[in-house]
Structure 1
Amino acid sequence: MRPTMLAPRSLRKASVPPALLSDPTPGSLQPTRLAVHVNGAGSSCSAYLASGCRVYKIEISMDGAMVSKGKESLLIPDNAQVISSSVVDRCPHRSEIQSVALAEGEGDSCLILGTVDSYGHLIVSRLNIAADDIDRTSYAVPPRDCGVGEGSWAGICFSPMQQSTVAVARQLCKSIDIYDQDIHVRSLRTLWYPSSFSFVHCSPQVNESSSLLAIAEGSQLSIWDLRMNNNGGCVQRISGSIGDTIYSVCSSPSGPIAIGGTDRAVTIYDPRRWSALSRWVGCSKYEITGLSFSSVDQSFIYVQGVDYEITCGRWKESERAFSFRGDSNWLGFSKCANTGVVAGWCESGSIFIVDAMQL
């Protein structure tokens, strides 16, 4: 039986209107300032971008793009129409926003938008995407230390099973804070500076309750159980190559966890044994700063590198399926939940959107 392949249905390129945002702030190495959502019928895609203290919404048409290839089978994008663009009012941060995340709310027309700035200030808003007034209710949570000290990269992650549970990572503080809406549940203290983290979607050990959190800290992957207090909640540490830094970690709904960083390789771990299932060496020419398993076929993974390239390939066979390049440094990298749409936002203002399908 011939294995299925993942192929691009289309690749689009849209430009953020200069009148809305002409010069985005550079941010950190991790491209965590973009979140995308495909609207119900698939005719358009909403991109939420963070620059400075604001979040911007760009509505991009998904109609009528074709696939064409250039040298080394790199995909060539079609120009896409920007339907509308606006500032999202419900994000009154005082310092630079470092990360944006989306979660599905109750009902088809509700989205939950989370943002965190460089001091760990968290704002969560419910967006009504069906109405002109996109904002419903929101809440804000100040950092545990009231924002004292030096700002740094901060990350946000919603629990896939319980949208009211959100985790906030602060790099220089070496901490991950867990919230149930605006109530602080607990803090996790890492040994090294955290650079990426993800809820483990599904694990036989926890009956799919998503109480496990995978954190990339320095050259280590650490696994934390939010129900445990022993050892601060840390249940497993996996050491990578000494001197290398892990910049990205992601988990698949079927269980496996992927990491990538300065070693330019993607390593996949089995959460049942905490052993390496696979290692895809050389999938990126430069450091890996973004990873995401495909929602269409979880045997494929997207790899985003600092050389402007995003590659999709079969991780077990270390086989490349397709790739495309941005035109400048990545500021954001995001996969839309439960669809084949993956997007990247460049410093130039270009947004690249690929829609993948199974063959």
Structure 2
Amino acid sequence: MPTSNLQESGFCVVRNAVDSATLAAMREFTEDLIHFVDHQGLDPFYKYYLPHRNENGVFLDVFQRHPEFHNWAKLPSVLDQLENVIGPDIFLYENSLLYKPKGKKNGVPWHQDFISRAHEPIKYIVWVAIDDAKIENGCLKVIPGSHKNGLYPYHTVQGEAHHSRINQEYVDESKAIYLEMDAGDAVIFSSHLFHSSEEVHSDKPRRAFRAAYQGFDEITVPRGAPFVVRGGTPKSLAQRFNNQNDLLNRILMENKKLKAFHMDFIKFLTAPHKPTLIFGTGSHAENVFKSIQLVNEKYGSELKISGFLDNDKQKWGAKFFDIDIIAPSIELINKHNVIIASSYYNEIYCQLINLGVSKSNIILA
């Protein structure tokens, strides 16, 4: 399927992305790996990466742990398709080995990937079949077009490997289709696409390498470090730099402490903008405000803070740095950008979205 299908349906399939010899080697390796984790499970990287969930058939961060997966994250025919939607510079955000352990709770409920990370850029997922993936051994199920409206309300089931699940009232299973694949095929799909797989207990294995990719517009990873899989050349990097980025580099070089802030906030400091509110009145908000003062005074930026927002009614009407603390309201917020400077980022982000605030007007510090 062409990339247009990826944009319209939310997924596309790349046939024969992996050759038969490479598949045979990976089947042998993953069989040994699963046996090792099931019977010994010693992990020298436990301090750096999440533990494997062999009871659910999820081995996390295998690219970092095992070089056998390196080429699987850089399949040319797959990266060609990704480049059409992400751009020439692509990095590996997250990855895992997936399989269906027989006799275990191996179903995957309907979900959108990274549904709890609404503040991060969209990602594209690549799911490469190590074995034939058919209905009988638990192939993927998807709902075509379900990616078009962004992230949906969800709930969390504590203790489960697949803990974040779309609220069932938003799932129309009558529109679902099975994505049957031959070994070596790869499916690319939007992280917003509704997908799942059924619990099965087949004698036929169903292993897959899954990887999530993101572009260079914002560099963020859940743990470890980003790995560039395509691009990042001097030429492509030079094309990303303009006068604003030159200033950003200077600011970061001269003020090391600013590197502790989210890059969206650093970029926002030097961009043209309308009046701005800071959501939060704690120590993080104090650091954010002082950083804004520094950049305004030292580099000529003109970022104006009109007020501080807080959900604590006891603080309304008080002042923070001689600026009013006010209640969040849609009438006020819609006239401003909002910098979230609080450890309750996810809750505040959802609050703002529910108030109708545009994502483009929300900045994480």
Classify the TM-score, shorter chain. Answer: under 0.3
**More RCO (CA 8 Å, sep 6+):** 2
* TM-score under structure 2 length normalisation: 0.27
Between structure 1 and structure 2, the one with the greater Rg is: 2
